[in-house]
Structures are given as structure tokens and as C-alpha cells.
Chains A and B, each alone.
Chain A
Amino acid sequence: MNTATPARQRTALPAWLFQGVTVSYILLVVLFAIAAAINPHYASWDNIRNLLQIGAFIGVIAVGQTLVIITGQIDLSVPWNLTFSAILMATLCSHGYSTATAVAAALASGTLVGMFNSIGTAIFRIHSLVWTLGVNALMQGATLVYTHAQPPRVDVPPIVRALGSGSLYGIPVPLLVWIAAGAVALVILHKTSFGRYLYAIGNNESALFLSGVDSRKVYLGAFATSGFCAALAGIMLTGYSSQTYLGMGSDYLLVPIAAVIIGGTNIMGGSGGYLGSISGALIVVLLQSVLSIVQIQEAGKDIVFGTIIILLLLLYGRQKLAAR
């Protein structure tokens, strides 16, 4: 029963057209063209620059999220992991530690939380959606304890400020960070054995395990990367808004996941890649800005993103009959 695969619907059009990555880039171009047609200001360098800068925060988180989703898991601990890391860095700075120490501590904290995520997922085998949501709650608690619900008012050091809002030869620094992180992601996914193992886990963990690879370590790597990326995004966001606040992570739960799924990575794992997530992140940013132009509230954006995810899942994520 459960080995019966549904007959793929055959159409006259070539198969690559239906690949998630291709679809997402076509969608990006079409969306951009529509936006530019409505408002010519859209195609201006200033606006594009701005979109890329905001896209960078989503894109950096999406690096980790892509790795995790390719294994068939998901990381819902991003919001408070991000917030805690950012606040940790800010308080360390205000306590007189060097910027380097503070940033390193924040990144380490994010990575540790990611590792903790993999313990529940890989060792206790609790569905990562539930476990990482629990870890998110734990980090929320930790943040409140650490700050006594009063985020520190600090002077954000210039280097961090530059990370979030500076520019180099006219190119926003966040974009440069994104390019670097994206390049690393692409190399990891397509050139390294670790990347190969990520896909293998997503397709068939037993087969990978029986091939002598400790899949628990692969999960560890994926979740640790995701935690690291969340912390990095937290630092960049602190620089961008020149402050830390308790709600700073709340916009970064669903949106990066939407970016990854829109980019054609299968939510069940095993296929996809970061190339798609890049266009996914840009589509998401574009949508957000279009939605604000037509004056749809935050709430409306949530409705739109939720609906888009469901529609995309209906297109790509349908399970084999009786496989569940």
C-alpha cells in the first residue's frame, strides 16, 4: 500500500518548468514587473537596494531554515533565539565587553540553542515542530529572566550598526553578509558530504544510517547552523534598528519558512536548495512591501502569507496517498 506512488500528472509542457526553483524565479520577475508597472518608483535603485537590505535578514535566517527543512524538520525557535542572542550581545556591550566578545557570545548562544533543538529531534525523536516550539518558549522565558522584561537601552557599537545598516561602495552591508552566507550555504549543500547527508536524511534516514553515517550528527549540524543564522540575523537587526526589543523576533518565524517553501524546497525534506530560497526571500520582501503600499495591515500580511503557504503546499507538498 504505502509504496504505491501516485501517477504524476503528465502535461505537454517540459518538466523543468514545474520545478519549484524555476517557478519561484518566474514568480519573482512577474511580481516585480507588476509592482514596477503600478509604481515606477519600484524599479529605482533606491527601492531595490532597500528591498535587498530587508531581504538580507530573511535570507540569512533562511540559510539555516533551508538546511533544516531539507532534512525534513523545521526550526520554530528562531524568534526568541534571535531575540535572546541580540539582547545578550547588547547587554555584554553595555557591560564593557569588547564588541568582538559580545558578538561571539551571541553567535555561540544561538548555536547552542540550535544544538539543543537537535537533541529533542534526533535523540528523543520528538517532532521538531513541537520540540522547537517548546525551545522557543524556553528562550522566551530565558529572555524575560535575563532582561526582567526590560530590554537594555544601549549604544549599539558602530561595527554592529554597520552590519545592519551600513554600506560599502554603495552596496548595503547586510546584502554583503547575505551574499557571503548564501555562498556558504550553496557550497555546503552542493559540494560537501554534510550537504549530501542533509538530502539523504530528508529522503530516507534509515538508508543513510545503514550506510554508516550518524544521522544524529547531521541533524546537529543542521540545527546548529540554523541557530547560528538566527543569532547572526539578530545581531544584524540590532544594527539595523539601533536597539534591541522583546518583539524583535516575532516577524521572523513564518516569513523565512515561507521564503524556503516558495523557493521550491519540499517541506517533507529531501529536495530543494538555497538558490530557490534566495528568490523566495525576495518574493516575500516584495510581497510585504506591495502589501504595505496597498495599505494592508500586519494582520492582513499574515493572512496572505498563510494562504500562500497553503496554496504552495497544495501545489508541491501533497503526500503520497496512504503514506501517512
Chain B
Amino acid sequence: MIVERYYSSLTAVIGLILLVVLFVYIQPMILSPFGVTLSANQGTALALAALAQLIVVLTGGVDLSVGAIVGLTNAIAATYMGTHPGIAAAVLIGTLAAGTLAGFVNGLVVAYGRIQPIIVTLATLYIFTGIGLVIRPQPGGLVPGGFADALTRSWGYLPHALVFLLAVVGLAWVPLMRSRLGRAIQAIGDNRNGAHVSGISVARTELWAYTAGGFFAACAGIFLTAQTTSGDATIGASYTLNSVAAVVFGGAVLGGGRGVALGPICGAYFLSLLISVLFAGGVSPFYQNLLLGAILVIVLAVANSWRLRTRHWLRVMSN
């Protein structure tokens, strides 16, 4: 483990700790098992979406369709799950496959169509949301109570949501990043040409990175299904931007090559908790959207403020 890589996560980790302290100060009740579980549930979907965003950001791209895949998979899961456990399990696997396929489509167009990722995923954002709306025109659906409980309850102070997140990280993220593919994903974002001359297939790496992104977004969609016990194809809309904000706040660099999972996960919980803290602090709900928007914009600006310090104009303008 290279400790230096984790320095970039420091802001998000410290920010999250301070926020939790503030939350406890304002609202001591959240230290109960119920409060902890509630808080964990609130941030887990975004944390998973942030992982989906991070893997694409590492390659040097951005995935604007993350929110759409979250909504699509949420719609699929809630529409087809029914109540029979066997069917529910099959649908869950199908949901993961659908999200992964959506990511695969993104990757195919980006890598082999050679189009700017940001505009490809803007277009697929509409396509995926559209498909989700065809599957589920109105919010609703049926989610088995057992499934919802399995993901959103807790063992004492340990929320199932965190266990789910850790399982996804431990069983999917870590093995992926420890594989040659994971190394290649970092490498192409860090030095595209260098990775190419080192024998890495840039296109194939991109394809699998977006595909993996689709998988993590589907995990977020599944968790959201359990959390809301309903399906809504448009529920993911806010996840696109918030996942970018979580990733940037978590120390990853838009442009690629730098970022570890810790920062974006903490960033995601930070952004999600913030709403609760604002609410607990008595801020009118009407202001919450505005404040969240302002924080997003400020995080982006601060993360890029090095441009103001750069002496060389040519370097200011380079991307």
C-alpha cells in the first residue's frame, strides 16, 4: 500500500469526521443504532455511484450517465422483483447485468467510436432514462420486504448498508484495482501515450472501465431500491452531479490517473449527511438545494484553484 496515494482523501475524511461531530452536537440522538443506520442508508447509494464515477474518472473521462443507470436499474429491480424470493434473486442478477450492459454500451462508443466521453454519456443519460421510463412510466413497483430489510436494517450499531458497501468494495472494487485491468485503468488516465507504448490496449481498458462503472451504478440502483422500496426511473438524476462532486471532493483528479476509493466514499457520505445536518440545524428545506448546489460549485472551484496560482499561461490553458 502506497500511503502517499491516500493523502488526497484527507480532505474528505476530515470533512466527514467534522460533519459527524457537528451532527452529534446538534442532534445527539443520531448516536443511537437507529440514527446511525438512517445516516448510513442515506449515503450508501451515492457512495456506490461515486465508485462508478471514480473508475471512469481514473481513465480520464467522466460518466454523466451514472445517475441514469442508477435510475434504470432501480426501475428494473422494483418492477420485476415481485415477491417470490427465487424470482427476486434472478431479477437482482438481471439488474446487475442490465447496469453492466449499459456501462458496456458507454464504453463501446467512447473507446471504439472515439467520441468525447462526456458527450457520449450525456446522450446515453437520455437513452437510459428513456428506457427506464418505458419500463416504469410512473414511480411505484413492488419490493419484497425481506430484501429491503436485508439491505437497510442493522445489527446493533452496524448498519447492513455499510456491510453491503464493504462487500461491494471488497469483492468487486479491490480485486478489480488489484488486477492488471485496474493497473491499466490508472495508467491510461495517468499517461495515455505512455500506457499505449507500454503495451496496454487503451481502447479495451476504457471499454472495461465504463463497463465496471455500469456495474457499480447498478449496485447503487439496487441499494436505492431497497432504501426507497419503490422504483423511479428519474430518481438518479441528482446522482450524476453529486457523484462527480463526491469524486472531486474525495481527491480524485478530473483528467485521470489519481484517486482512491476512500476519498470519494467519504465524500459521498459527507454530501448526503450534509442535508440531514442542515435539516437538523433548522435550515429551511427550500434552502437545501441551493446550499448543496453552492457546495458543489465551490468544491469544483477549489479543486481547480491551482490554475489561479500557475504562472505559465500555456499551462493554465492546457487540460
The answer to whether B297 and A135 touch across the interface, beta carbons within 8 angstroms, is yes
B294:A297 contact, CB within 8 angstroms: no
- Does A43 count as interface, using CB distance less than 8 angstroms? no
A144 to B115, CA, bound (A): 36
Q: Are A120 and B116 in contact (CB under 8 A)?
A: no
Q: Are B62 and A137 in contact (CB under 8 A)?
A: no
With contact pairs A129-B64, A140-B289 given, residues A322 and B196 touching in the complex (Cβ less than 8 Å): yes
Check if B97 is an interface residue, CB within 8 A of chain A: no
Residues facing A in B118-166 (CB within 8 A) are 118-120, 122-127, 129-134, 137
- Tell me whether B293 and A140 are in contact (CB under 8 A): yes
Tell whether B290 is near chain A: CB-to-CB under 8 Å. yes
A144 to B196, CA, bound (A): 48
Q: Are A144 and B317 in contact (CB under 8 A)?
A: no
Q: Which residue of B lies closest to A258 (CB)?
A: B123
Q: How far is the CB of B91 from chain A (nearest CB, A)?
A: 21
Contact of A319 with B130 in the complex, beta carbons under 8 Å: no
Q: How far is the CA of A322 from the CA of B245 in the complex (A)?
A: 28
- A142 with B62, Cβ < 8 A, contacts A133-B241, A209-B317, A324-B192 known: no
Q: List 9 A-B contacts (CB under 8 A).
A: A123-B307, A126-B300, A127-B254, A137-B293, A257-B122, A267-B116, A299-B233, A302-B126, A319-B116
**CB–CB A314/B62 < 8 A:** no
The docked-state distance in angstroms from the alpha carbon of A125 to that of B133 is 35
Complex CA–CA separation, A206 to B312 (angstroms): 12
**Partner of A133 from B240, B254, B294 at Cβ < 8 Å:** B240
Task: Identify A302's interface contact among B130, B137, B245, B314, CB under 8 A.
Answer: B130
- A307/B290 contact (C-beta < 8 A), A123-B307, A134-B241 known: no
Is B308 an interface position by the 8 A CB rule?
Answer: yes
Known: A129-B62, A206-B314. A306 touches B294 (CB 8 A): no
Q: Tell me the B residues contacting A by CB distance below 8 Å.
A: 60, 62, 64, 109, 113-116, 118-120, 122-127, 129-134, 137, 192-193, 196, 233, 238, 240-241, 244-245, 254, 286-294, 296-297, 300-301, 304-305, 307-308, 313-314, 316-317, 319
**Distance from A259 Cβ to chain B, minimum over Cβ atoms (Å):** 14
A32 within 8 A of B: no
Q: Which residue of B lies closest to A146 (CB)?
A: B286
Chain A interface residues (CB < 8 Å from chain B):
1-2, 74, 76, 120, 123-127, 129-131, 133-135, 137-142, 144-145, 148-149, 205-206, 209, 215, 254, 257, 267-268, 297-303, 305-307, 309-310, 313-314, 317-319, 321-322, 324
Closest 10 CB pairs of A and B: A141-B290, A299-B133, A141-B289, A138-B293, A303-B130, A302-B130, A306-B127, A306-B126, A137-B293, A124-B304
- Shortest CB–CB separation between residue A255 and chain B, in angstroms? 10
How far is the CB of A321 from the nearest CB of chain B, in Å? 7
How far, in angstroms, from A305 to B123 measured CA to CA in the complex?
8
A145 contacts B287, C-beta separation under 8 Å: yes
New A-B contacts (5) at CB < 8 Å, excluding given A126-B300, A313-B115, A314-B115: A123-B307, A129-B62, A129-B64, A133-B241, A134-B296
Q: Contacts A322-B192, A322-B196 known; A303 to B291 CB distance under 8 Å?
A: no
The listed residue with most A CB atoms (<10 A of its CB), out of B64, B120, B123, B245, is B123
Interface SS majority for chain B: helix
Taking a contact as CB atoms under 8 Å apart, the answer to whether B119 and A130 are in contact is no
Residue of A nearest to B132 (CB): A299
Partner of B297, one of A120, A257, A301: A120
Given A123-B308, A124-B304, A141-B291; A317-B119 close (CB under 8 Å) = yes
Check A303–B62 contact: CB distance below 8 A.
no
The answer to whether B290 and A138 touch across the interface, beta carbons within 8 angstroms, is: yes
Interface centre among B131, B132, B287, B290 (most CB of A within 10 A): B290
Cβ A305 vs Cβ B116 within 8 A: no
Known contacts A137-B292, A209-B317, A322-B196; decide if A299 and B118 are in contact (CB<8 Å).
no
Question: Most chain-B Cβ atoms within 10 A of its Cβ — which of A138, A142, A209, A319?
Answer: A138
- Give Cα distance in the complex from A69 to B62, angstroms: 18
Chain B residues with CB below 8 A from A123, complex form: 307-308
Q: Is the CB of B133 within 8 A of A142?
A: no
Is A131 in contact with B294, judged by CB distance below 8 angstroms?
Answer: no
Q: CA A144 – CA B283 in complex, angstroms?
A: 14
- Minimal Cβ-Cβ distance residue in A for B319: A125
Are B244 and A137 within 8 A (Cβ)?
A: no
| CA A89 to CA B240, docked complex, whole Å | 30
Residue of A124, A145, A322 contacting most chain B CB atoms (<10 Å):
A124
